[in-house]
Amino acid sequence: MKPLPISPLTVVAQGLACATGVGLLTLADALRSSQQTLQPNDFTAGPLPCWIGRMAALDDTRLPPALAHWDCRAARAAWLGLQADDFIGSVAAARLRHGAARVGLVLGTSASTIGVSEQAYAAPAADGGFPAALRSETLNSIHAVTAFVQEALALQGPCTTVSTACSSSAKAFAQAERWLRLNLVDAVVVAGVDALCGSVLYGFAALQLLSPEPCQPFAAGRRGISVGEAAGFVLLERGAGDLQLLGHGESNDAHHMSTPHPQGLGAEAALDGALARAGIDAGDIDFLHLHGTGTTRNDDVEAALVARRYRSGVHASATKGLSGHTMGAAGIVGALVGLLTLRDGLCAGTAQTAVVDPALGPVFAQQLQLRASVKTVRVAASHSFGFGGNNCVLIFGRGSA
Amino acid sequence: MTHRVWIDGIALWSPTMPGWDIARAALRGEPTPPLQPASRPAPSLLAANERRRAPDAVLLALEVASHALAASGHSASTVASVFASTHGDLAVTDALCTTLAGDPLLLSPTRFHHSVHNAASGYWAIGSGSAAASTALAAFNETFATGLLEACVQCTADAQAVLLVACDTEASGALRSVNRSRGLLAVALLLAPVRGAASGWALDWSVQDASVAVPVLHSAAARALADNATAAALPLFEALAADASCRLAWPDASCTPAWPDASCTPAWPDASCRLAWPLSASRSLHLVLQPLAAEAPRAPAA
């Protein structure tokens, strides 16, 4: 059944910290210059030849004393993201406007604080259990980074962790939109947070999906992904604004746990859902942020979908060559790139990719933009596809307000 | 504001209550025949070799998902799904962290994709062939209530049938020092936006500005599972286990020998049942359940 159009929601505030730095300006600078923001892996204790999108500031980040019980890499990343672009100040204002109980939180993460458990297993206490400093049930739970953000923002509305691998924080927008549509809350903090950890790096190594060089989305010689870390935030409210969430679509491939449906049918169903909720056609989309991981199969399937469904003049780009693949945060990073494009007209290029893979066909070669440019964009879409065949497409637009 | 959805399918699995028929009797406090506890379920949705390798959380989730769907008569392809689990599969987390602390290069690709929180959601889609939207969420102590809320929200907002699955496993290895979840428990509900032939209950839901406590467990069978992280679901399944005639007998409580706790009677003044769970410090999810047999007869369709 085709979903009905939804009322647009307004994007009230945004914040981002990732490998490009803290704040949306650092992202904009990186998008303009396509500078190298990935680095050779120096995160894992043992050698693992790959490149990572590491947030350099995390090692020296200290949480305020009142929040110190949450200290870990993921919470520090979230804390930097909350400071970025004074997101925390915008939420404080929303809390005053609506009351803390009327502001919800939906946070997408894949690994959350698993890094804490990894650390505990590497250095167990004498009784074989977790060392005293890490012996916390709440800290060693997938909801931990969400509970940290809830406490840091003093929110008392409904609060949930969405964890569907790399589509997590895109789906967070869909869940938030439904809460607002049914008037359960007056504002929702949508978030995506993931920090570097052993499980993700060695897990992708086990799947032979880690590129030994910086990831090159849609390049002929692409060899896999570069893992990154990020914390992104968006505050959504009902009503029209300059920047709006127009639609979202979710689907499942029902095909395989770690490879996409060969014809991209799941991804296409998510696109159709998003278009129907936005009440527009694919031809109305000016800018597309691709999932673009740099793996052979993901890029193949996504390129075919884009060539099949989007107009040849769409400006499509992939930015994981700047941020790395930030896992559960990837959806909101894509959303923030799209919002930046709508606000400033800054259309990203595809960092690290020198030439489009000719095997992806002439239409896609025309759609994929390797260099950044400035143009007027009224509608931007973002793709997020995750493990388990989990897909989500978001559509944002400029409002007339 | 209150919204109404319909319950078209109910399922529950634990080692001592492997299926809704047994669970229904046990949760009413009726004596159940002695049973050799099952170690883990064997959902027919997975091929035998996949079943052998699958984590407990995936088996639990698929077992209850299949039964709730079968009871409802809905087609999997039209049903969205919400998988709520406080911790995912704890044995997988234990094995993953053990390997990473030993020789991380020995991590297997299968273990890695079993470790994602949406593993059950992915296997459900593959096994059932459903390409409908599927999510996986967690909210620590509020996981079940938050999952139930999301299922109600999706059913109401998009007039969409939604399968809710909640399950948790037992902590193993070093994780036992920080994680209190014990035993295996999985529950499922199939919620529908309109009343159909399989609808057994009307469920009115609302989110209210109130601070409430998690509802208490009444039956010995439910109390035996109190240490599982999904136990917050059990009061709802106790309510669904009691049939309309049993409920109408209240407050005599003559048919509920295992529920000596009289504190539950004032909350059940009529054929309906009211339950509430905290969602946060100041918001809560409230349900009013009406068994359809107790509803006034509906006017015949014109």
For residue A366, give the 3-state DSSP assignment. Answer: helix
Cis link prior to B193 (omega < 30° from 0)?
A: no
Instruction: Check whether B256 has a pLDDT greater than 50.
Output: no
Within 8 A of A204 by CB-CB distance, chain B residues are 112
Q: What angle do CA B163, B165, B170 make, to 5 degrees?
A: 170
Q: Spot the catalytic one: A166, A215, A347, A392.
A: A166
The distance from CA B136 to its chain's CA centroid, rounded to whole angstroms, is 13
Indicate the pLDDT class of residue A258, thresholds 50, 70 and 90.
Answer: confident
The CA distance from B265 to A385, in Å, is: 49
Contact present, B146 and B205 (Cβ < 8 Å): no
Note whether A127 contacts B: Cβ–Cβ < 8 A: yes
- Annotated active-site residue A325? The verdict is yes
- Nearest-by-Cβ selection for A140 from B104, B129, B178: B178
Instruction: Check whether B249 has a pLDDT greater than 70.
Output: no
Residue with tokens 């699958």: B54
The distance from CA B147 to its chain's CA centroid, rounded to whole angstroms, is 9
Q: Which amino acid belongs to residue A170? A: A
Instruction: Check whether B295 has a pLDDT greater than 60.
Output: no
CB contact under 8 A, B280 and A158: yes
Instruction: Check whether B296 has a pLDDT greater than 70.
Output: no
Within 8 A of B101 by CB-CB distance, chain A residues are 118, 121-122
pLDDT tens, position by position, A361-397: 999 999 999 999 999 999 999 999 999 999 999 999 9
Can you give the pLDDT at residue A72? 98
Instruction: Check whether B283 has a pLDDT greater than 90.
Output: yes
One-character DSSP codes across A4-19 = PP---EEEEEEEEEET
The whole-angstrom distance between A157's CA and the closest CA on chain B is 6
Can you give the pLDDT at residue B292? 86
What percentage of chain A has pLDDT greater than the value 90?
97
CB contact under 8 A, A253 and B131: yes
Q: What is the arrangement of strands in the sheet containing A39-40, beginning at the earlier edge strand?
A: A39-40, A51-53, A227-228
- Annotated active-site residue A50? The verdict is no
Q: Is A329 exposed, middle or buried (0-12, 13-18, 19+ CB in 10 A)?
A: buried
Indicate the pLDDT class of residue B266, thresholds 50, 70 and 90.
Answer: very low
pLDDT tens, position by position, A3-18: 999 999 999 999 999 9
- pTM comes to 0.96
CB contact under 8 A, B136 and A164: yes
Q: How far is CA A253 from CA A300, A337, B68, in A?
A: 16, 25, 22
Q: Spot the catalytic one: A248, A291, A315, A383.
A: A291
Can you give the pLDDT at residue A186? 98
Note whether B143 contacts A: Cβ–Cβ < 8 A: yes
| Domains of chain A from N-terminus onward | 9-398 (3.40.47.10)
**Low-confidence winner among A45-59, A333-347, B284-298 (lowest mean pLDDT):** B284-298
- Nearest-by-Cβ selection for A160 from B115, B139, B179: B139
The whole-angstrom distance between B231's CA and the closest CA on chain A is 17
Can you give the pLDDT at residue B243? 64
Q: What angle do CA A165, A318, A4 make, to 5 degrees?
A: 65
Q: In sequence order, which residues have a C-beta less than 8 Å from that of residue A105 and are 6 or more positions away?
A: A146, A149, A150, A153, A155, A157, A158, A159, A160, A188, A189, A191
Which residue of chain A is at minimal alpha-carbon distance from B111?
A: A203
Average pLDDT for A154-166? 98
Which residue of chain A is at minimal alpha-carbon distance from B140?
A: A143
What percentage of chain A has pLDDT greater than the value 70?
99
Instruction: Check whether B263 has a pLDDT greater than 70.
Output: no
- Nearest-by-Cβ selection for B137 from A161, A178, A254: A161
Indicate the pLDDT class of residue B34, thresholds 50, 70 and 90.
Answer: confident
CB contact under 8 A, B105 and A147: no
Instruction: Check whether B62 has a pLDDT greater than 90.
Output: yes
Which residue of chain B is at minimal alpha-carbon distance from A119?
A: B101
Average confidence score pLDDT of chain B: 89
Within 8 A of B157 by CB-CB distance, chain A residues are 178, 181-182
A24 vs B39: which has the higher pLDDT:
A24
Can you give the pLDDT at residue B270? 52
For residue A347, give the 3-state DSSP assignment. Answer: strand
**Low-confidence winner among A7-16, A55-64, B29-38, B50-59 (lowest mean pLDDT):** B29-38
Can you give the pLDDT at residue A160? 98
Q: Which amino acid belongs to residue B280? A: S
Average pLDDT for B38-53? 91
pLDDT tens, position by position, B200-227: 999 999 999 999 999 999 899 999 999 9
Average pLDDT for B118-143? 97
Indicate the pLDDT class of residue A2, thresholds 50, 70 and 90.
Answer: confident
B273 vs B100: which has the higher pLDDT:
B100
Which of A269, A278, A90, A276 has the alpha carbon at shortest distance from A187?
A90
H or E element: which one contains A234?
strand A230-238
Average pLDDT for B127-148? 97
Which residue of chain A is at minimal alpha-carbon distance from B144?
A: A160
Instruction: Check whether A130 has a pLDDT greater than 90.
Output: yes
Residues 45-74 of A with CB under 8 A from B: 46
pLDDT tens, position by position, A210-223: 999 999 999 999 99
Indicate the pLDDT class of residue B293, thresholds 50, 70 and 90.
Answer: low
The CA distance from B123 to B83, in Å, is: 11
Can you give the pLDDT at residue A53? 98
Can you give the pLDDT at residue B229? 98
- Nearest-by-Cβ selection for A252 from B93, B134, B179: B134
